[in-house]
Structure 1
Amino acid sequence: MNAAACMQAGICLGPSIIGRNKQYMSTFFYTRSIYIIESFEAICFLFICYVTTCQIDTHMIKRVGRLAFINGIVLFLIPFLWGQFTAILISKRLGGRPAGVPPAEFHHVAIVQSTMFFQVVYGVLSNLKMLNTEPGRLALASMMVHDCLSWCFFMLNIALKHNTHSADKNHAYFLSAAQMLMIVVIVYVFRPIMEWMMKRTPVGHSLKASYLTVICVLLFISSLWSEFVGLPYFFGAVALGLATPKRPPLGTGLSEKMGCFIWYFLMPCYIIGIGYNMDLSLFSLGDLIRYEILFGMVRFAKVVAVALPSLYYNVPLWHAILVGFIVNIQGIYDVQIYKQNFNYRKISKKTFGAMVMSAMINSTILIVVVKKVYQTMSKRNPYKRRTVQHCRIEAPLRILTCFRQREAVRPVLDLVELSRPAIGSPLSVFALNLEELNNHSLPLLIHHKQEISPFVVPSPRDQIVKAFHNYEKTNPETVLIECFTAVAPRKTMHEDVCTIAFDQETDLVVLTLDAGMESWERLLCRNLLQTCPCSVALFIDRGRLPDFRFVPIKKLCITICAVFLGGPDDREMLAYATRLANHPSVELHVFRLLDHNGASPLRDMVERNHDMRVINMFRKENSENNIIFREVRIEEAVELMELLRKEGDDFDVMMVGIRHEENLLMLEGLSEWSNMKELGELGDLLISKDLQLSVSVLALHQ
């Protein structure tokens, strides 16, 4: 739910607009109802704090880079100092403070405006599908460092206030001890209780209702304890959220369980509670201008605080500015901090209204700006065509292999082995392990540069990296391998693939999949086919390729069939098949499909001429014994199905193009009952249950 939209609804319901009607206010906002609404408002923010914080993996602070660490420190210091300087400047030089606002309040407003929240940035990036983008990663990592410093400063400030303002020093020491005890109980009592509940929950199942009730009780105990020891009530929710185990069914699982209750039941109460305390008629245009000068200067300081270190570390200018815009977006956390300060009488009702109104307008504008700027920046235009067909045969082929399961490593290495040249320039392989963002607070793109220590128990991720490094060591002259791991949401996982493909100037992206693709895997395929800056191959492994690690190459015979119908995808497929045929263990069969007259089935004469040129060159340059070329006349789709059913299982791999000219007679009717359109008509037919083939399928898109 968009925070700005929530605030607009609250303002409309409050005394600024509809609330001017006294009968309406007396009916809906009588004294007793206000207490009830404020109670629900506090409970709403309590749950929001807990649910958003329990998704934060505290171990990620160890992974932030030097730039993010510096950004976090500078983001903490510069807006704070610049805000105080601006408050003094407005008070002394620019006509004074807003009417009725004392100096202490105006300076306090500058301090509050300089605060930022990781949870707000995370929510915005998640909604914009920018979590695993480069600006998104930098913003999240910087905000994590900033939040750590902010909470440390906050706790230190609370402790100093207790010691300096308390007449009874023993009482101050008691409060400090009670605060430390609360943290100890949350970590060493409440966390083990939640871990016990996780062990009692079967894998893949959600939490029982009774366990969810226990978590709610722990949440209320933590918040009540916070109030008793002189801390804001939501501090207990944040502490419990950080201590909550991040593995399913907790972590993100709690958000799915509680989301409906929070956003559709409690949130309306929160909106009304905020709107009731806003009265836009209290401040004049001059007051509003003074407030906006202060707010604008603090926001400008945040952009500068991010941009300067980023530019020093050679981050592109617009990337740095975009990160500055992202950290300036405000949300429900900011509004609740304003409300807390209003409740504690640190800011007036006029100041509260100005801050909420400014936050709403600022966030609405910045979200649109961030979205448009990133869409413009993310358009990848390679300076030359990155395809296998246009890569010279003597030039090194650059392949990005993508997979999402450890079991897919062996077929990926088999395909790498078949693509490896016997002599000449080495094959460059970039292995990308795709992991879903479900147990991490931060999307990651890890470049594995260091060797795995033999003295450390390797994780599943390390085992994958080790397998590729071992293969590289056995073929040092013909293969160069770099390993990556991408942790990203399902909907934007293709962004990491496209980023690496663009940065590494790859000629081909190979995505290894199972025949039973899930819906989100099909979405990944569609996104790659639409946005990838180079050719894409979808490899459906059926286990037909042997394990090259244990069988001598001289004793192997891998039979590959390339089905050539015509068009750019088929020409790309034939170019890659030609490279595979250079492997000493490969026997390549090429089936060129013709119509009943023995001519190309394509109607586009330009494409027919391109096909004829490629076929003639292929037959001229590849007359070796391991390449067999056949021309097959096909009239209808039934004949094509019979050919594939009869010949299919004689091969280990069948290669096809994905796109073909529309309304081809020999493909007529195939697309109507196609289950996996991402593979094209032929690719889908080869893995369909109708043919009952066991051959692996490699479908290419230029």
Structure 2
Amino acid sequence: MDCSMTSSVLSANYNTILFEFGVTLVTSKILYALLRNVYQPRVFSDLLLGIILAQFRVLSITNAINLVFGKIGGFIFAPYLFALGVEMDPFALLDGLTGDAVVAYAGILSTCILVTIFHTPVMQDKGGIVHELSLRAFLGLAVTLSNTASPVLTRLATDLKIAKTNVGRLAVGAGITSDLVTTLLIALGSMIWRDSDADGTGAGVFRQPVLTAAVLMVVLMSGFVFRAMAEWVDGRNPEGRRMRGFDLSLVALVAGTLCWFSSVLRLDVNMAAFLVGLAFPSEGRVSRLLVSKINFVLSSFVLPLYVAHVCLSLRQTTDDIEVSGLTRHEGLRVYVMQLPFPWWKVFFVTAMGTMGKLVGCAGVGLLQGLGCLEALALGMLLNVKGYFHIYCALAAFEAGIITDKSFMAIIFMVALNVAVTPMVGMGISSWARRSVQWRLMGLQHHNPATELRLVGGLHGPQNVPTLTFLMETLRQGAGNGELACYAVDMVQLTDQTAASIVKGGGFDGVTVVDEEVSEMRKLIGEALDVYQAADRGGDSDKVKVRRLMALSSFPDMHSDICICAEDAMAALILLPFHKTQSLDGTMDTGHFGFRLVNQKVLQLAPCSVGIMVDRGFGKQRPPSMTMSDAPQSTVVVVFIGGADDREALTLASFMCKHPGVRLTALRIVQNSTAQARAKARTSLFESKSRRNIQQPAAVLGQEELQAQADDKFFAEFYRKHVAGNKAMGYLEKHVADGAELVSVLRAMQGEYRLFVVGRGRDRNSVLTEGLEEWAECLELGPVGDILASSDFSTTASVLIVQQYDAKKHYKVIDEEFMPL
């Protein structure tokens, strides 16, 4: 009977704990989803939830979380530090002094100097920030304030779209270096300042060097063990196959064993995990997948509960201590938030860390050519705090290094710092956009004596052949065949990919180590490498391909692509159509997310845009096949009228210069019936104009200007590329309405592999009237939608072109007032 009652009570307690854990985790996710709209990182939502729980004294949740984390909290942070160590490359410290490293070292040095200057108010037995008057306490505070939370910084740079700006690239690189150096210093400090005479016999003085040497030997041994294991696991799991769970679990088990063995040698298990992680190879499939899994579990389950445990220890009054049956002295080690609130410590710690980073990092930034505002923003970004600072504060408090009020002040300093940093990032983002001088970026305005720059979006490796074909044909229209393409891998930002974001290099700033994303990017990179390595008769060095990644949610991905086009001063953005061809030749329903990206890019792009509808075009032309080896491609450009059709004709003029392209220019003109309808519409507009209806008159005038521009432009195109050129075809079709136009296009579907058409935004031709009513994808325009529909063709691909509209960006009505 007694055993049954005891079992029921324990079962009820476990159920209560699981329920309260679930409530805390769900609340944390909801809070993060709300705060993410203002670009707040996850650590801030976790801190805010913990402070709210502590403020309102939810006793049951307090007891549940403290009951569990009070027993396992000593090593719960070890997986986080292990993953952090795996992401970092310690050999990077042996490289030369790069700009990133100089900024990082300057920030660390200036912060340490500032803490030294103010050591008197900081180091006090009573009333100071540091309770223990020792060298380890002084250096620990200085190094902790110098630390930059690089995982938080890289995520902010990704969310705020500043990873490609000068300040963003410099901040991400310097943040990684700063995080590596300061965390390594703290780990080494924990080895040096451990208890040397715990038993009072004096033997610890002689034992400490031996234990330190043993720990270093374990770390060095870990490097050899992990490298051998990584090669063994990679051999058992070749690329293209899903990694076996047993192999990954075995690697994690060995890593945990080495961390435990280091802790047996009296090194803090969390710091041991970081050192073992540093010994783990930072590159490779095993490392990417292991870090991805650890970060996903930590961010989804462990870290929110850990932060709640830390914050729930803050708000306990003297009455709570007495009720718990503890004396005031005993309660100080558990209950730390006692009134009055130490505001001066919060602001003093915040000011020391911020000023230290601003003085050092901003000063070096100015020397490297940044502006004053950019340099200040660099210092503020590198001052961002995170989970590691929360861990350091708790560890220092439990070791008696800092006082209860100082512990509370550091926690609130981290929350305040993390809340402010996204605002700095948003300021950088707005400065970057204001600094861009809008130009007439498009193929029609491209200087043929200069390099042609393109931005190509990629959903996967299946889009590479079509992109390389367009690159190869369009480069003939550039100066000396020089072309630069910024290939953008379009990756959706989900919880799983967010947890797998680690340090990166170059233009990206971050890297996603999720296995599926990594495999996709690897295949894309291999296909592009094959294209670049193809023999072009000595012109291979004139084609430059730069890899980028648009890592965003679909509603925000267009921003990455547009910023890339602005930075690269590209003339054209090429994006795949959101639908793909099925096995039966029809087009599938498509991906709504990619359609949303295309729609927003068409609306906001700073240059011309092309949407490519691929119907097996890429399958017949692998990237390794040069244009001289491939059969001649038949291309037709359809010209009806309008700015978009003029841009499509310009694109065709670039392509016709390539010997591997057989181009035909198709001009659609009105027959007598269409001309009569157009004349009747003109008369109607004129009659309305005489009745003081100004809008029809304005439309009529715009149509006349467009018609004159169309005739002049096509006549110039005919003179330069058609007349006297036997390789260039020309057709002229007279049609009466949209139905005849569709019939003409259908009759040509079997003759051409690629149709190039304009989107037709400003076209008011009677030949396309009524076609919009049946359109499924209005963003392609009336003609483009017909050509992209499943019932048009199964073999003819389509390229829909939109010309850059400078007047829209300058917000002017008449070209006379254009600033360019």
Whether TM exceeds 0.5 here: the answer is yes
Partners of 2:452 and 2:482 within 8 A in 1: yes
Matches within 5 A, 1:179-198: 179-190=215-226, 192-193=228-229, 195-198=231-234
1:484 and 2:585 matched: no
Amino acid at match of 2:312: Y
Residue 360 of structure 1 deviates from its aligned partner by: 0.6
Alpha-carbon shift at residue 693 of structure 1 (Å): 3.4
Q: Note if 1:47 corresponds to 2:79.
A: yes
Q: How many angstroms apart in 2 are the aligned matches of 1:59 and 1:493?
A: 34
Pick from 391, 402, 413: which aligns with 2:456? 402
Aligned counterpart for 1:560 among listed residues 621, 635, 642: 635
Aligned to 1:153: 185
Q: CA deviation at 1:335?
A: 0.7
Write the distance in 2 (CA, Å) between the matches of 1:515 and 1:264: 33
Shift of 1:68: 0.4
Measure the CA separation in 2 of the matches of 1:128 and 1:323: 14
Instruction: Indicate whether 1:573 and 2:644 are aligned.
Output: no
Find the aligned partners of 2:654 and 2:710 in 1 and give their Cα distance: 15
- Tell me the SS of whatever aligns to 2:413: helix
Which residue in the other structure is 1:71 paired with? 103
1:351 positional shift: 0.7
Cα drift, residue 48 of structure 1 = 3.2
Tell me, what secondary structure is at the counterpart of 1:174? helix
1:545 and 1:652 in contact (8 A); partners too: no
Decide whether aligned partners of structure 1 residues 13 and 230 sit closer, same or farther in structure 2, where only a CA change above 3 A counts. same
Give 1:371's aligned residue: 426
After superposition, the C-alpha distances for 1:507-534 in whole angstroms (9 at most, x for unaligned) are: 3334578973877765664554344322
Deviations, residues 421-474 of structure 1 (Å, cap 9, x unaligned): 68x954541123445788983344469xxxxxxxxxxx9969956855876763
Shift of 1:406: 7.5
Distance 1:396 1:111 in 2: 50
Match of 2:486 in 1: 432
What one-letter code is carried by the residue in structure 1 that aligns with 2:650? A
Correspondence for 2:674 = 597
Q: How far does the alpha carbon of each residue in 1:96-125 deviate from its partner, in whole angstroms, 9 at most, with x for none?
A: 954995655677544432322323323433
Q: CA deviation at 1:146?
A: 1.9
Deviates more, 1:298-307 or 1:352-361: 298-307
* C-alpha RMSD of matched pairs (Å): 4.5
Among 536, 555, 563, the residue aligned to 2:609: 536
- Cα distance in 1, alignment partners of residues 440 and 207 from structure 2: 73
Three-state SS of the structure 2 residue aligned to 1:231 is coil
- Which residue of structure 1 lines up, in the alignment, with residue 437 of structure 2? 382
1:350 and 2:427 aligned: no
* Count of matched residue positions in the alignment of Structure 1 and Structure 2: 671
**Per the alignment, in what secondary structure is the counterpart of residue 302 of structure 2?**
helix
What amino acid sits opposite 1:429 in the alignment? L
Deviation string 1:364-409 (CA, Å, 9 cap, x unpaired) is: 12223322442342356434311223346x6647332536578877
- 2:52 is matched with 12
Q: Per-residue CA shift, 1:103-162, capped at 9, x if unaligned?
A: 556775444323223233234334445444443322221122223322443354345446
C-alpha displacement of 1:609? 2.9
| Residues 1:115 and 2:147 aligned together | yes
Deviations 1:478-525 (A, max 9, x none): x95444233553658766754564345333334578973877765664
In structure 2, C-alpha distance between the alignment counterparts of 1:216 and 1:475, rounded to whole Å: 49
SS in 1 for 2:270: helix
Which residue is equivalent to 1:630?
Answer: 732
Corresponding residue to 2:264 among 221, 224, 228: 228
Greater shift in the superposed pair: 397-406 or 564-573: 397-406
- Asked if the contact 1:338–1:356 (Cα under 8 Å) also holds between the matched residues in 2, the reply is yes
Cα distance in 2 for residues equivalent to 1:226 and 1:250: 23
Normalization by structure 1: what TM-score? Answer: 0.80
- Quote the Cα distance in structure 2 between the aligned partners of 1:170 and 1:100: 29
Q: Distance in 1 between matches of 2:350 and 2:130?
A: 18
Corresponding residue to 1:262 among 289, 292, 298: 298
- In the alignment, structure 1 residue 333 sits paired with structure 2 residue 395: no
What's the secondary structure of 2:502's corresponding residue? Answer: coil
Q: 2:744 aligns with which of 631, 643, 658?
A: 643
Amino acid at match of 2:566: F
Alpha-carbon separation, structure 1, partners of 2:314 and 2:501? 37
Q: Would the alpha carbon gap of residues 209 and 547 (structure 1) be closer, same or farther in structure 2, given more than 3 Å must change?
A: closer
Residue 369 of structure 2 corresponds to which residue in structure 1? 314
Q: Is the 8 A contact 1:197 1:211 kept in 2?
A: yes
TM-superposed deviation, 1:296: 0.7
* 1:267, distance to aligned residue in structure 2 (A): 3.6
Alignment gaps of 5+ in structure 1: 448-458
CA distance in 2 between counterparts of 1:66 and 1:144 reads 13
**What is the aligned partner in structure 2 of residue 82 from structure 1?**
114
TM-score by length of 2: 0.69
Matched-pair contact (CA < 8 Å) for 1:303–1:324: yes
1:667 aligns with 2:707: no
Q: Is 2:620 the counterpart of 1:620?
A: no
Superposition deviation, residue 199 in structure 1 = 4.5
Question: Are 2:639 and 2:668, in contact at CA under 8 Å, matched by a contact in 1?
Answer: yes
3-state SS of paired residue (1:328)? coil
Do 1:121 and 1:329's aligned partners in 2 also have CA atoms closer than 8 Å? yes
Measure the CA separation in 2 of the matches of 1:174 and 1:151: 23
- Name the SS for the 1:385 alignment partner: coil
1:344 CA displacement: 1.2
- SS state at 1:301 partner: helix
Moved more, 591-600 or 140-149: 591-600
In structure 2, C-alpha distance between the alignment counterparts of 1:309 and 1:99, rounded to whole Å: 29
How is 1:26-65 mapped onto 2 (pairs within 5 angstroms)?
29=62, 34-42=66-74, 44-51=76-83, 53-56=85-88
Classify the secondary structure of the residue corresponding to 1:282: coil
Query: Which position in structure 1 is the counterpart of 2:704?
Result: 609
Structure 1 position 276 matched with structure 2 position 312: yes
Q: Which residue of 1 aligns with 2:326?
A: none
1:53·1:119 contact (CA, 8 Å) conserved in 2?
Answer: no
Q: 2:453 touches 2:484 (CA, 8 Å); kept in 1? A: yes
Q: Give the Cα separation in 1 of the matches to 2:80 and 2:742.
A: 56
CA offsets 1:16-53 (integer angstroms, 9 cap, x no match): x223xxxx64x5556x9734222354554333334455
Distance in 2 between residues matched to 1:490 and 1:276, nearest whole Å: 34
**C-alpha separation between the residues in 2 aligned to 1:225 and 1:214?**
16
SS at match of 1:382: coil
Equivalence for 1:442: 503
The alpha-carbon distance between structure 1 residues 311 and 173, as it changes in their structure 2 partners (threshold 3 A), is same
SS of the residue 2:305 aligns to: helix
Would the alpha carbon gap of residues 91 and 185 (structure 1) be closer, same or farther in structure 2, given more than 3 Å must change?
A: closer
Choose the corresponding residue for 1:141, options 156, 161, 173.
173
Query: How far apart are 1:684 and its partner, in Å?
Result: 4.9
Aligned position for 1:474? 538
Q: Hey, what's the Cα distance between the residues in 2 that align with 1:113 and 1:256?
A: 28
1:271 shift after superposition: 3.0
User: Whole-Å Cα distance in 2 between the matches of residues 283 and 249 of structure 1?
Assistant: 51
Mean CA deviation greater in 128-137 or 225-234: 128-137
The 1-side partners of 2:430 and 2:76 are apart by 34
Identity, % of aligned positions: 19
Cα distance in 2 for partners of 1:133, 1:226 equals 42
Where in structure 2 are the equivalents of 1:284-295 lying within 5 Å? 284=340, 287-295=342-350
